[in-house]
Structure 1
Amino acid sequence: MTTHDLLTGTPSVVTAGAALFPDALRTQGVEVTEVTWAPPTAGTSGHLARVLADPRRVEANRLAAERMLAAGAHLVDVRPASEALGLERGQFLHAGPPVTWENASGPLRGALIGAVLFEGLAADADEAERLLASGSFSWEPCHHRGAVGPMAGVVSPSMWVFELVDPADGRTAWCSLNEGLGKVLRYGAYNEEVVTRLRWMADVLGPVLQAGVRRARSRGAELDMLAIVGQMIQMGDEGHNRNRAGTLMLMRDLLPDVIESGVDPTRLAEVVRFVGGNDHFFLNLVMPVCKLVTSAAAGIEGSSVVTVMARNGTEFGIQTSGTGDRWFTGPAQTPNGLFLGDYGPDDANPDIGDSAITETAGIGGFVMAAAPAIVRIVGGEVGDALTATRSMYEITTTENPRFGVPILDFRGAPTAIDVTSVIGSGVLPQINTGMAGRVPGTGQVGAGLVTPPMECFVGALEALADAAPPLG
């Protein structure tokens, strides 16, 4: 463009920073494109430069994204965690990075107490708490065994789990069965109602679902859960806090085989009523789908793609492709949102759960634009959902066409979070989530929006920089 063109033509301006300047230009009829920009996170410039200069990074991130887009997820079984995950009596799994009893949050403590009672390892809650505090039992993250768990994420040997397989390479992921809403174990409740429901799930729900899945498999049917996730996003679900369409499609696909398996009609009716009355039931299938998608990208040297985001109610932790199973943590943040009944911010525990695996895979809070009704649950307006989704393209390396966002002309979901983009832009991943009560036994108190602490990404960046080849 020449000086003459600049002075005589119609200007098109790109702005960054305060809104005052672009607003003033628009009032004068000037076309303005606003971009989000911020200086890199303080104290990270040296590490950021080293990671960006890593000659392996571009190809490693391309490979990580390629593998995420190629991943599949078929439901192949439903069975007890003792069989599927090798859990023995007195062993438990939980959400998020590792945590001790002393540092465990209220909801996690409550869920562990409930699991001990469910397994018959204590006579009452007081005894369960004493045994847990004394070190009589052991627990570790679900992710350490290739599993995921919503909210507290506690899994015990007698609980049943969904088993999903990526048909491309045989990788497997697991998740517990969804209990419904209200006072449930995953929110830290552990009264008799909670334990009784868990026993029914082990005695009735798990075996009935198993019969249907095995019947489908015996006739050669493929229960493609990834395909359902793609469809539900185009039907108004985002896969984290809204799973209504996904739950109904699961029932559509599985119910004929459950009926043909010959299960007791009374038990079948109980299961159909339970699943049909629980819009969140499919969340516990979305999560292992996303675990398979993200774990496909794991273990690539030089890659700065995030493969895990998880919270235990005390800390938020991430893992990256290039740093293996190492956790990078920071303090979990308390979500901002809407509260149930008389609950308020003082009642809410900091963020908890493995369900941020949905955002790690590119859905959930990353595709809120596909589910505008979600803003009624987590607070905000429809425009906020659009803004949230658009901003996530700034910190990801690719788009997943299987998760097309209708309102964005079916643009693929923003996928493969890049640590360097988070650090460089200051934009943090957007997560929508439920809120558990801070006090053990309370249950759910609300739902809202939250982001990880920047410390997680700073720690990962430093580790990636340390692992980078020497400059020059």
Structure 2
Amino acid sequence: MNIRTSLFEQPLDVINLGLASFADNLVLAGGAATQLDWQPPALGDVAAGLDLAWLINHPRVEAANQIAFERYLAAQPALIDVQFARDTLPAMAQRKLILHAGPPIAWADMCGPMQGAIVGAAIFEGWADSVEAATALVEAGQIDVEPCHHHNVVGPMAGIVSPSMPLWVIQNTTNGSFAYCNFNEGLGKVLRFGANGPEVLERLHWMTQELAPTLQAALKVLGPLELKPIMAQALHMGDEVHNRNAAATGLLLKRLVPALLRCGQPADHVQRAIEFIYSNDHFFLNLSMAACKAMTDAASGVPCSSMVTVMARNGVNFGIQVSGTGKRWYQAPANPINGLYFPGYSAADATADLGDSAITETAGVGGFAMASSPAIVKFVGGTPADATQNSRRMQSITLGSNPAFTLPALDFAPTAAGVDIRKVVDSGTLPIINTGIAHKLAGVGQIGAGITTAPMPGFIEAIRALAEQVRLADGGAA
């Protein structure tokens, strides 16, 4: 009997690639079929696929990634001070400048919450006395708007920072560099969701005039506060330090209260500061973001490295930066958010993914650490098993793991860290992000939370750019 005849006398189990309906038809006909979910790398872009194949296991890229990842792991972010933006960001002293979340975007293209927040900041600064006047100033180019990341700053949701606002000052004590973040305003009507009414401005003035000096005085008593240990402990207490910061905020308050009681500020100022932090479970989020910014910035600027150092969203586009290509942005429209909405709201009411807080996932926590926070699924959707699977899946697209951050639910396995654009484009697995959902209209606020991913086109563009850089480093070799 020849091979061909014997083959067709055996039971056949077909492996089907592509449309699942082909496999379904075989099964309905009494056959056996295994559906394999597969798609060409780089969304079928042949040129990008060839660049990708050339970059995989490239000695120059592998060596650069080792350097970048080691710098990320070695970073030790510490909270050292509170300063006002105009005093610590040189550009703020030179011109009317407002910073926003995400990659660059023109005023006319901004989402409603970002425009509303910028207007509120202009009024807060005294540059205008009404929404209409502030809008006219921005439209006339008399107020500049730039991404937070261009100034070593991060901010949640709209991410707005203006000269008079206080900033957390975080120093990477390993290399001496700095990262900054604004203060968390709490929930309700807040600037980061585009609200700009009297209660928002009153709170901002209180934070500037009373809260900031009180916390600044407390930090002088306390001294540098290392943030990685707080984040690590919070992961063991049910946080993932992006959308859940209840434990981390409590740990921070535990460290701050003794210093606040000895800082010499008026007793009523200290009391209000403690009450404000105590009532806001998200207070630590901004510190988590700045700490993550300090860690990923340490890995930035290593020629030929394929490690992602920034992921950020402006409510329209999602942007990434890659270590090997410096501060260049690779952008694509933000992916939809699969989430849970507050009563009365739906996806039709939502703006696109928004905020710099994806810096937490960039650093290996947040969505990458969801296995540590089963309670988060009640907020963003899914099940605890989904959260665990998300953390496991991220191992396939990263350079390694961070032993400083471990996940009890995974037998204290370290979190996946160091997103590698090559692995993302090759596997089709996208970095996962858990996120709040903002209403598309300014000032309405948060209307839900959910899960999203970074869009693939930005990673494909980054592959092309990195390949070009590596070729130049190789002397133009193909």
Give 1:350's match in structure 2, choosing from 338, 349, 352: 352
Provide the secondary structure at the position in 1 that maps to 2:339. Answer: strand
Question: Is 1:378 aligned to residue 384 of structure 2?
Answer: no
Question: Is 1:94 aligned to residue 94 of structure 2?
Answer: no
Provide the secondary structure at the position in 2 that maps to 1:377. Answer: helix
Give 1:111's match in structure 2, choosing from 103, 114, 117: 117
Cα offset, 1:392, TM superposition? 0.3
- Letter in structure 1 aligned against 2:357: S
Residues 15-42 of structure 1: CA distance to partner in whole angstroms, max 9, x if unpaired?
9989999xxxxxxxxxxxx998654121
Is the contact between residue 56 and residue 301 of structure 1 (CA under 8 Å) also seen in structure 2? no
> Share of identical aligned residues, percent?
46
Q: Which residue of 1 is the match for residue 463 of structure 2?
A: 461
Q: Which residue of 1 is the match for residue 207 of structure 2?
A: 201
Q: Could you tell me the TM-score, scaled by structure 1's length?
A: 0.90
Cα offset, 1:112, TM superposition? 0.1
Q: Which residue of 1 is the match for residue 187 of structure 2?
A: 181
Provide the C-alpha distance between the structure 2 equivalents of 1:38 and 1:394, rounded to a whole number of angstroms: 16
Provide the C-alpha distance between the structure 1 equivalents of 2:357 and 2:288, rounded to a whole number of angstroms: 9
Residues 439-472 of structure 1: CA distance to partner in whole angstroms, max 9, x if unpaired?
1222211111111111110110010011122446
Provide the secondary structure at the position in 2 that maps to 1:287. Answer: helix
Provide the C-alpha distance between the structure 1 equivalents of 2:37 and 2:355, rounded to a whole number of angstroms: 30
- Letter in structure 1 aligned against 2:41: P
Cα offset, 1:182, TM superposition? 2.0
- Letter in structure 1 aligned against 2:364: G
Residues 36-58 of structure 1: CA distance to partner in whole angstroms, max 9, x if unpaired?
86541211311102222643111
Provide the C-alpha distance between the structure 1 equivalents of 2:376 and 2:16, rounded to a whole number of angstroms: 29
Provide the C-alpha distance between the structure 2 equivalents of 1:341 and 1:111, rounded to a whole number of angstroms: 24
Give 1:421's match in structure 2, choosing from 420, 423, 427: 423
Residues 373-431 of structure 1: CA distance to partner in whole angstroms, max 9, x if unpaired?
00001111111101111110000011101100001011110000000000000000000
Give 1:252's match in structure 2, choosing from 228, 245, 254: 254
Provide the secondary structure at the position in 2 that maps to 1:397. Answer: strand
CA 271–65 in structure 1, closer or farther in 2 if over 3 Å, else same: same
Give 1:62's match in structure 2, choosing from 66, 81, 84: 66
What is the number of equivalent residue pairs in this alignment?
A: 442
Provide the C-alpha distance between the structure 1 equivalents of 2:66 and 2:477, rounded to a whole number of angstroms: 22
Residues 56-105 of structure 1: CA distance to partner in whole angstroms, max 9, x if unpaired?
11111111111111110111100111112131362111111111111111
List aligned pairs for 1:74-89, cutoff 5 A: 74-86=78-90, 87-88=92-93
List aligned pairs for 1:327-342, cutoff 5 A: 327-342=329-344
Give 1:409's match in structure 2, choosing from 402, 411, 415: 411
Provide the C-alpha distance between the structure 2 equivalents of 1:336 and 1:175, rounded to a whole number of angstroms: 27
Provide the C-alpha distance between the structure 2 equivalents of 1:421 and 1:134, rounded to a whole number of angstroms: 44
Provide the secondary structure at the position in 1 that maps to 2:170. Answer: strand
- Letter in structure 2 aligned against 1:442: V
Give 1:123's match in structure 2, choosing from 117, 122, 129: 129
Provide the C-alpha distance between the structure 2 equivalents of 1:353 and 1:238, rounded to a whole number of angstroms: 17
Provide the C-alpha distance between the structure 1 equivalents of 2:450 and 2:247, rounded to a whole number of angstroms: 21
Instruction: State the structure with bigger RCO (CA 8 A, min sep 6), 1 or 2.
Output: 1
Q: Which residue of 1 is the match for residue 178 of structure 2?
A: 172
Q: Which residue of 1 is the match for residue 141 of structure 2?
A: 135
Give 2:196's match in structure 1, choosing from 176, 190, 212: 190
Provide the secondary structure at the position in 2 that maps to 1:74. Answer: strand
Provide the C-alpha distance between the structure 2 equivalents of 1:146 and 1:118, rounded to a whole number of angstroms: 23
Instruction: Name structure 1 gaps, 5 residues minimum.
Output: 1-14, 22-33
Question: Is 1:394 aligned to residue 400 of structure 2?
Answer: no
Q: Which residue of 2 is the match for residue 30 of structure 1?
A: none
Cα offset, 1:134, TM superposition? 1.6
Cα offset, 1:334, TM superposition? 3.0
- Letter in structure 1 aligned against 2:161: V
Q: Which residue of 2 is the match for residue 24 of structure 1?
A: none
Provide the C-alpha distance between the structure 2 equivalents of 1:281 and 1:127, rounded to a whole number of angstroms: 32
CA 213–279 in structure 1, closer or farther in 2 if over 3 Å, else same: same
- Letter in structure 1 aligned against 2:391: T
Cα offset, 1:198, TM superposition? 0.7
CA 387–401 in structure 1, closer or farther in 2 if over 3 Å, else same: same
Provide the C-alpha distance between the structure 1 equivalents of 2:168 and 2:430, rounded to a whole number of angstroms: 31
CA 195–17 in structure 1, closer or farther in 2 if over 3 Å, else same: farther
Provide the C-alpha distance between the structure 1 equivalents of 2:193 and 2:308, rounded to a whole number of angstroms: 26
Q: Which residue of 2 is the match for residue 40 of structure 1?
A: 41
Instruction: Name structure 2 gaps, 5 residues minimum.
Output: 1-14, 24-34
Q: Could you tell me the TM-score, scaled by structure 2's length?
A: 0.89
Residues 213-253 of structure 1: CA distance to partner in whole angstroms, max 9, x if unpaired?
01222xxxx31111101111111100100001110111111
Displacement over 4 Å in runs of 4+: 15-21, 34-38
